[in-house]
Amino acid sequence: MDMNEKFPIVQLITGDGRRTGAISENITIEKAKRFYQHMVFSRLFDRKAVNLQRQGRIGTYAPFEGQEASQIGSALAMEDGDWMFPTYRDHAATAAFGHSLKNIFLYWKGCIEGCVPPKGKHIFPPSVPIASQILHATGTAWAEQKKGTDRVSIVYFGDGATSEGDFHEGLNFSSVFNIPVVFFNQNNGYAISVPLERQMKTKTIAQKALAYDIPGVRVDGNDVFAVYDETIKAVERARSGGGPTLIEAVTWRYGAHTTTDEPSKYRDQSESKRRRENEDPITRVERFLEHEGAWDSNWAENVHEEAEQKLDEAVIEMEKTIKSDESLMFDHVFGTDVWPVQEQKHRFFYEGSEKG
Amino acid sequence: MSTAVNTKKLTIVQAITDALREMLAEDESVLVLGEDVGKNGGVFRATDGLFEQFGDDRVIDTPLAESGLIGSSIGLAMNGFKPVVEIQFLGFIYPGFNQLITHATRIRTRTQSRYTVPLTVRAPYGSGVRAPEIHSDSTEALFTHIPGLKVVVPSNPYDAKGLLISSIKDPDPVLFLEPMKIYRAGKEDVPTESYSVPLGKASVKRTGDDVSIFAWGAMVRVAEKAAEEASKNGMHCDVIDLRTLYPLDKDAIAESVQKTGRAIIVHEAPSTGGVSNDVIEIINDTSFLFMRAPIKKVTGYDTPVPLFTLEDDYAPDEKKIYRAIEEVTRF
């Protein structure tokens, strides 16, 4: 069977902003505006972060420009009390889910306190070891199931992560125990420089759900309506005891893996240009609003201005911290006093030679 | 032990089952997870009867995947549960090593204690039972090197129960190593009620003024026998069961060597990078001027644990320890 046919890419709005004819209650002007606001904010955040890195004001950064619809559409489908497990490229998702902007910036500035989410928000620090966070989403959601709540976990990971054992172990555990998790894959075509066809022979990532007998769906990751719609379905299924879902959001990162690499070395960047012109997630909503007669350029200008202002404020807040308090290095290794750590801390602070 | 305390005669493995039963009964957030821990009661029967008593929701057979087991238990631990994971043999833990070193032990630091991982990982370890390949590893030093992880090793039934209860109650991840050679090496009186043996505290098994011998797990009894033999020839040894390998009991180590001035550390694990080196560091830091002889190590070799026809040649035995006692005494 042709897996491209079995797992067609779900699309609600085409690249030029027209309805595909698929019916969804989520295609509304109100939602379009909300999505647009979040996506514009995310893109400006991402560009701001890249600039801050270039200026040496934060460290190495992993940009996501081009993937805004995947992250915003999925994050807005989640509710307070749910759990979110991002990678290092998912700040659009974590910000939309309520993370502190200052903290997101602080993390990239090399301050561990940037990992701490606002109270009441279950947002995990970006996971660096690829696919490892998939199991934590599985475990926290398993705990919710055991407590008898209707809360769920969403976990983000890329195409490369599907080669890791933890991806398969997480899907398998969730499948066996019917755990309420949304496995949200952003297939952006490349794991740093390695293209999808070197990562897998399968034509889709969604089809890997077949091996675990769980629903798998492939969605246009640049169509925020489709992403939102499919994530809502997966979340509702999980909340109502229907178990996990694997979502493959097919997208593209326009830029580099991180600020330390140059994508033109391993791929033709004209593809990024083409996709930006034809499939961009933000332009798509703009065109949609135009077709629907709801585009208001003054409103859009305000959206941009408000975003810039919010970002500037967050950067000012971030820059009030020059470096983390040194005690943070020692104080949260254990919940009890453990003498080697206590002694080393004492040496660092009071015995002169180490802190100088 | 007070005579008022009810006791029963248990082996180490039975004492472990007893601790698990106490904790499952006492605290609803405690879960037992692993491969074959359910109906089968564990490959060493350490979870025998728990499935029948507490059911599939609390005593959970998982798919055969150590990373999945430890990783998903991290999630359970971060969200209100106290999972006790059984790894069938320490040599099988390596697929889950990444979850321990990059997540279980860092989440408290990374989230500045917003999220914590009260996770206990149990694993039988060590050689001496004629087991197949990879079933006899003593790689405890790989784990004491991980910041954020406590490593605990009982050597007798009483400690096994009390230390496991402390490990499960500890707010942070604990690796609980079970010396499989002495799992059933004899029964001892163990209180029927719940009790704790504190983590980070060594236990003096025998006292003597001439040499301090530090050991853990199955090596404690071997060291005791060697010390017994040495005492017949006028060389009297402290035998200290370290019980917790991270954090080590610095005071107990210092107190003993400041009395004897001589030290021997015994472990099954390879010499290079062994926990013995951390004991030596403590002696250097606390007691350098008390020492009357170079510190000796009696350890396994820097080789993979051999298949079982050679395992008795590999591990420290009474004779090797006796020779070390003679060497440091005559120095």
Domains delineated in chain A: 3-324 (3.40.50.970), 325-356 (no CATH)
- B141-177 residue pLDDT tens: 999 999 999 999 999 999 999 999 999 999 999 999 9
Is A94 a residue whose pLDDT tops 70? Answer: yes
Please state, rounded to an integer, the average pLDDT across all residues of chain B: 97
Answer for the pair A74, A223: CB distance below 8 angstroms, yes or no.
Answer: no
pLDDT in tens, B24-64: 999 999 999 999 999 999 999 999 999 999 999 999 999 99
Q: What is the pLDDT of residue A351?
A: 78
What pLDDT is recorded for position B18?
98
CA distance, residue A103 to nearest chain B CA (Å): 11
Minimal-distance CA residue of chain A relative to B102: A129
Check A335 against B172: CB less than 8 A apart. Answer: yes
User: Percent of chain A beyond pLDDT 90?
Assistant: 95
- E-assigned strands of chain A? 9-10, 83-85, 122-123, 153-158, 181-187, 190-191, 194-195, 216-220, 245-250
Residues of chain A above pLDDT 70, percent: 99
Cβ atoms B85, B120 nearer than 8 A: yes
The gap from C-alpha A247 to its chain's centroid, in whole angstroms, comes to: 13
Closest CB from B78, B147, B171 relative to A140: B78
Residue B4's pLDDT is what? 72
Average pLDDT over residues A241-246: 98
Is A36 catalytic? The answer is no
All residues at 6 or more sequence positions from B192 whose CB lies less than 8 Å from its CB, including other chains = B6, B7, B8, B18
User: Which chain B residues have a beta carbon less than 8 Å from that of A167?
Assistant: none
pLDDT reported for residue B33: 98
CB-CB contact of B177 with B244 (8 Å):
no
Q: Which of A174, A333, A345, A346 to mutate to test the interface with B (most CBs of B within 10 A)?
A: A333
Measured between beta carbons, the chain A residues lying within 8 angstroms of B174 are: none
* Residue A118 Cα, gap to closest chain B Cα (Å): 10
Domain architecture of chain B: domains with CATH: 9-191 (3.40.50.970), 203-330 (3.40.50.920)
Q: What is the pLDDT of residue B265?
A: 98
> How far is B132 from B308, CA to CA, in rounded Å?
7
Residue A101, phi then psi, degrees to nearest 5: -65, -40
| Cβ pairs A/B, distance under 8 A | 134
Q: Which residues pair with A83 in a beta bridge?
A: A122, A153
Q: Which pLDDT tens digit goes with each residue over B257-281?
A: 999 999 999 999 999 999 999 999 9
Establish if A169 touches chain B: CB-CB under 8 angstroms.
yes
**Predicted TM-score (pTM) of this structure:** 0.96
Nearest to A333 among B72, B77, B148 (CB): B148
**In Å, how far is B265's CA from the nearest CA of chain A?**
20
Given the DSSP bridges, would you call strands B188-191 and B7-10 parallel, antiparallel or unpaired? antiparallel
CA distances from A248 to A16, A19, B278 (A): 22, 21, 49
pLDDT band at B284 (very low <50, low <70, confident <90, very high): very high
Which chain B residues are Cβ-neighbours of A142 within 8 angstroms? Answer: 72, 75-76
To the nearest whole angstrom, how far is the Cα of A188 from the nearest Cα of chain B? 25
Interface test with B, best of A151, A321, A332, A346 (most B CBs within 10 A): A332
pLDDT tens digits along A133-187: 999 999 999 999 999 999 999 999 999 999 999 999 999 999 999 999 999 999 9
B68–A170 CB contact, under 8 Å: yes
Could you tell me the pLDDT band of residue B200, with boundaries at 50, 70 and 90?
Answer: very high
Q: How far off is chain A from B74, nearest CA to CA, in Å?
A: 6
Instruction: Write the ipTM.
Output: 0.96
Which of B57, B68, B171 is nearest residue A172 as measured by Cβ atoms? Answer: B68
Contact A173 B62 (CB under 8 A): yes
DSSP track, A78-135: --TT-EEE-BTT-HHHHHHTT--HHHHHHHHTT-GGGGPPPTT-EEPPPB-STTTHHH
Residues on chain B bordering chain A, Cβ-to-Cβ distance under 8 angstroms: 57, 62-63, 65, 67-68, 70-81, 95, 98-99, 102-103, 108-116, 147-148, 150, 170-172, 200, 246-247, 250
Banded pLDDT at A354 (limits 50, 70, 90): low
CB contacts of A139 in chain B (<8 Å) are 71-79
> Measured between CA atoms, how close is A116 to chain B, in angstroms?
5
Residue B314: enclosing H or E segment and its boundaries? Answer: helix B311-314
Question: Residue A41: is its pLDDT beyond 60?
Answer: yes
Sign of CA dihedral A35, A37, A43, A46: negative
Contacts of A165 in chain B (CB under 8 A): 65, 67, 95
| Predicted pLDDT of residue A352 | 66
Query: Distance from CA of residue B79 to its chain's centroid?
Result: 27
**A353, pLDDT greater than 90:** no
Give the C-alpha separation, B8 to B91, whole Å. Answer: 32
**β B296-300/B263-270 pair status:** parallel
Mutate to test the interface with A, among B72, B196, B248, B278 (most CBs of A within 10 A): B72
Residue type, A55: Q
Query: Cα–Cα distance between A353 and A71 in angstroms, integer?
Result: 47
Report the distance separating Cα A223 and Cα A69, nearest Å: 6
Q: Mean pLDDT over residues B124-138, rounded?
A: 95
A55: three-class secondary structure by DSSP? coil
Tell me whether residue A266 is one of the annotated catalytic residues.
Answer: yes
In one-letter notation, the amino acid at residue A73 is G
pLDDT at residue A28 in the model: 97
Is B72 close to A173, i.e. CB distance below 8 A? yes
Whole-angstrom Cα distance, residue A39 to residue A231?
17
Q: Of the residues A198, A266, A267, A346, which is catalytic?
A: A266
Q: Which of A151, A257, A284, A287 is catalytic?
A: A257
